[in-house]
Structure 1
């Protein structure tokens, strides 16, 4: 017998995130999803839109969650940006800002990426999969 719902083994936090994504999609995808997110308490909003483990353990968190393709792409983006920074001889402040932007991007995309990985079986290399804005229907 196979598990009908792969979410049953997930923690309460992941189940809460997945329930939001089931009901509203990506928080920034429509005015309705943005309104639903704003209606939540601050801590819940942060748990849905951000993942601090991904912030601190970037890009290894992607590998640990089974999203190795996205992890490889994040590593490639980090290496490319570092190489570009060396070639352009950017200041330390600019290099830090680029690094913070990179990990902020990872921390805000990992939750929905994991949702797609678990629920829809996505094995995409696209680190921004599902983040395109949709028009209100």
Structure 2
């Protein structure tokens, strides 16, 4: 394979594999030396690239999977730390939106949105790190000019995440949580103890769980489900209802089961 145009003009590419040299060459052609990646992809040079070449410039699958930890693996510690802290802030804001609006947004959004951004930036950031020794985005370098500032950002963003998760959490497990269903099974087993050894031979589980009502003020739940009981005579299923409430001291929750 012939030596890339980029490799001829750069002294810092020693040890890079052919795939990275190709990516760096493409980034150099679209003007990534002088432009941020989102500006560079608007250039005529980028539009002239093939679809495969555009993907090599704008997306990194490993960064999509591992996010800021991919940055750490490439020794881009400062940028990776800012991304990690920003993900924590995003998660906290996500929790606030769900609570204030009373919505249950797809949890996959917590992962997909920030990790897609990582995937779009990773190749460009590594290019700037290797060729320009850039450890922080220029527009953010004044704010995060040293490691203490970044450490403070990480600590602050993590505290924000903990506060948003803790402040709006009722402490009551949801209908389908293992804490709640295990207790429902335990209550059912206790009621069957009057039948002696027969109860010990039954395998019980809670299936088809539905949340029928939620009390926004107390965070308590009303639930419906099927109790599935398996014994020597086969498996039977019957409907049950149960409620989950937080005790007044706020340290425990109480489950009441109906239909047993």
Task: Classify the TM-score, shorter chain.
Answer: 0.7 to 0.9
**Alignment pair present for 1:72 and 2:85:** no
CA RMSD of aligned residues (A): 2.4
Could you tell me which runs of 5 or more consecutive residues in structure 1 were left unpaired when the two chains were aligned.
Answer: 130-137
Report the counterpart of residue 103 of structure 1 in structure 2.
115
2:46 aligned residue: 37
Distance 1:107 1:29 in 2: 16
- Give aligned pairs, total: 123
1:57 is the counterpart of 2:66 = yes
Alignment partner of 1:22 out of 28, 32, 43 = 28
What's the offset of the Cα at 1:112?
0.9
Q: Which has the higher contact order (CA 8 A, sep 6+)?
A: 1
Matched, 1:9 2:15: yes
Give the TM-score normalised by the residue count of structure 2. Answer: 0.43
TM-score normalized by the length of structure 1? 0.76
**In 2, are the aligned partners of 1:74 and 1:127 still within 8 Å (CA)?**
no
Give the Å deviation of 1:127: 9.1
SS of 2:14's equivalent in the other structure is helix
Match of 1:85 in 2: 94
- Unaligned stretches of 5+ residues in structure 2: 1-9, 141-260
Contact 2:71 2:79 in 1 (8 A): yes
Following TM superposition, where does structure 1 have runs of at least 4 consecutive aligned residues deviating by more than 6 angstroms? none
Higher share of residues assigned strand = 2
